[in-house]
Amino acid sequence: MMLDQLKETIKTALPELDFVMGWTTGYDPLHATPLYMYEPDDVDQLIWGPLNVHNLAVHLPALRHKKVGIVVKGCDSRSVVELLQENLIDRENVVIFGAPCNGVVDMTKIRKAVPDAHFARSVETADNSLTITTDKDTHTLSLAEVMADKCTRCRFPNAVEADHFVGEKRIPAVETDPYADLESFESQGFAERRDFWMAEMDRCIRCYACRNACPLCVCRDHCVAQSREPHWVSQRDGVRDKFMFQVIHAIHMAGRCTECGECERACPMDIPVLLLKRKLGNVIHDLFDYDAGLDAEARPPLLAFKLEEDSIKEKDW
């Protein structure tokens, strides 16, 4: 079985490493949580499946002084690649364990389908479904119904970079990113779009979970949002200031964001902030024909300077 193989591979590599990061069952059967495997016994707690929502690459830059292993889904591996590209981690200090991913769940969709999800007593996962038993009843959901949107358009279910790949590689269901969600949002008028963002951002509590969950938000401790000198963003809690931060965040991610969706998943107030990054990802794709996090040797377009970009004909203006 693939999970057993993965466990064996990790156990074999563990003596050379400080620890390996993976996932285990969290505070209830519906929630996985990151697992740090220091000893072979810890590896037995490892789980693999649709509940492993977290992108563990977020921890790598702070662990640069250690030699660590990381278990990745395809999307997580793109964050690792992006970190390598930006020289924020060292390839020789990271051992990447990959396995084929069938997609992960979106807890917001689960809560919508099963409002009683916070009373889950047991969860069984099969290839294409999820059965949640609460204190009152049992619900079987198809995985397609509750899968994170990023998984429905996933082009890289297998790690794009791995030292150890366990299991049979999956064939991606789509070849190019379908930006239908973005098109549908943008078909609305300006006022509607503005009202949407004002209403959504209004409940932001400025906790910065979106920022801290982002594997590529690496200024973290010296963030523009909290810096006093210079004082770029005010501490007022009006929707304008909250939105201002999201825009700064999104622009800093342009051409670097792999759309892993951790910003949106981490938001305790369920604000759909990934949409902003999708927009910029789409612009970068159109302008530079570039997708982030696929090639460790490539340079993100906004981190490079070319006198004239192939698709931006300044001299023709």
Partner 1 sequence: MAKYLKNDDLGQWLAELGTEYKIHAPVQEGRSIAFRPLTQDKILRIDRHATIGPKEILFPACEELMHFSYEKDTDNPGREKIRVQPADNAVPTLIFGSRPCDARGFDVFDGAFTQCAVKDNYYAARREQAVVVSIACTRTENTCFCNWVGGSPDGTNGSDVLLTPIQDGFVVQPVTEKGETLLQKGSLLTGAAPDQVREAEQLRAAACASLPEAPDFKCMPEQLYNLFDNMDFWEKQSAKCISCGACTYLCPTCHCFNITDERNGNEGERLRSWDNCMSRQFTQEASGHNPRPEKAYRLKNRVGHKFCYFPDLHEGHIACVGCGRCIKSCPVSLDIRQVVTSAKECHLPAEETDNE
Q: Choose the stretch contacting partner 1; rule: CB under 8 A; options: 96-104, 204-212, 299-307, 309-317.
A: 204-212
Q: Which of residues 207-246 bind partner 1 (CB under 8 A)?
A: 207-209, 211-213, 220-221, 226, 228, 234-237
CA dihedral 15, 17, 19, 24 (to 10 degrees): -70
CA-angle at 148, arms to 85 and 291, nearest 5°: 30
Binding-site member from 3, 13, 34, 185 for partner 1 (CB under 8 A) = 34
Contact 140, 130 (CB under 8 A): yes
Q: How far apart are CA 115 and CA 223, in angstroms?
A: 36
Amino acid at 42: D
Task: Count CB atoms within 10 A of the CB of residue 242.
Answer: 22
Question: Which member of 26, 93, 141, 179 binds partner 1 (CB under 8 A)?
Answer: 26
Q: Classify 270 as helix, strand or coil.
A: coil
For the window 253-282, what string marks contact with partner 1 as x by the rule CB under 8 A?
Answer: ---------x--xx-xxxx-----------
Residue 185 interacts with partner 1 (CB under 8 A): yes or no = no
Size of the site for partner 1 (CB under 8 A): 45
Q: Are 279 and 182 in contact (CB under 8 A)?
A: yes
Q: Which of 67, 170, 206, 279 binds partner 1 (CB under 8 A)?
A: 206
Q: Which stretch binds partner 1 (CB under 8 A): 142-150, 199-207, 252-260, 305-313?
A: 199-207
Stretch near partner 1 under the rule CB under 8 A, chosen from 23-31, 125-133, 143-151, 159-167? 23-31
Beta carbon nearer to partner 1, 121 or 169:
121
**Residue type for 281, please?**
G
Residue type for position 243? F
Q: Please enumerate in sequence order all residues whose Cβ is within 8 A of that of 36, keeping only pairs 6 or more positions apart, or say none.
A: 19, 20, 21, 42
Q: Which of 76, 161, 200, 291 is close enough to bind partner 1 by CB under 8 A?
A: 200
Give the number of residues written for the chain.
317
Site track 109-128 with partner 1 (rule: CB under 8 A), x = hit: ---x--x--xxx--------
Report the residue number, 28 or 124, with the smaller CB distance to partner 1. 28
159, 96 in Cβ contact below 8 A? yes
| Cα separations in angstroms, 82 against 41, 114, 236, 245 | 32, 36, 34, 23
Question: What gap in Å lies between CA 250 and CA 236, rounded to an integer?
Answer: 20
Binding pattern to partner 1, positions 50-79, x when CB under 8 A?
A: ----x---xx--------------------
**Residues contributing to the site for partner 1 (CB under 8 A):** 26-28, 31-34, 36, 54, 58-59, 108, 112, 115, 118-120, 135, 199-200, 202-203, 205-209, 211-213, 220-221, 226, 228, 234-237, 262, 265-266, 268-271
